[in-house]
Structure 1
Amino acid sequence: MIVHVVLLRLARGWDAAELADVMDGLGVLSLPGLLGFRHGPNLDAERKSPQFPYGFVVDFADRAALDRYAADPGHQALGARLVALCEGGGDGIFVADLDAG
């Protein structure tokens, strides 16, 4: 399994309705091997990531499923909307893909 972790450094004045709409869109993507989607505010309990107030994770069955997601036009359109919400555009988005076995 691959866990796709995305943290967002939201720009000043970001639009909460737009973020909710993008999260809703990501939540309804249906692709082979996409196993689950979760999102929410970063509680930053260890005080190591205050610059990223929001994030989401997507679980994939394997690398092929992650690759399909990356190439999917729906995902790409939603990703462009996320970029517009973040400080520095794409530089305001942290992504890690964890091989969770």
Structure 2
Amino acid sequence: MFKLTIAAAEQVVKAAQQGGTEGMSLRLAAYQMPDGAIDYRIGFDESTEDDIRLTCEGVEIVMTPEQVPLLDQTTMDYVEIEPGQFRFIFLNPKDPHYQPPTEV
């Protein structure tokens, strides 16, 4: 299913603490773009009874059942893109632009 790295989980927890959304779930959404690429959305939200729920690295994640096919096998990470610039990234083998990470 979906995975969250330890670095991403730590950042999600920090964001929840800073934003006053502790106790809320991290909602994931993914949309297929016309070129086949996948666009990701994340935010804190209350879960509904129809949501798919899972816990990764201590973070409760929710998504609608319709999101599962696009998010299955995806890993969300928090990485330094350039010195001092950190962001969440999604590693999804279903995305045509996916490139497996390389060891540095």
Q: TM-score, normalised by structure 2?
A: 0.29
Structure with more relative contact order (C-alpha pairs < 8 Å, separation 6 or more) = 1
Q: Which has the higher strand share?
A: 2
Structure 1 or 2, whichever has the larger Rg, is: 2
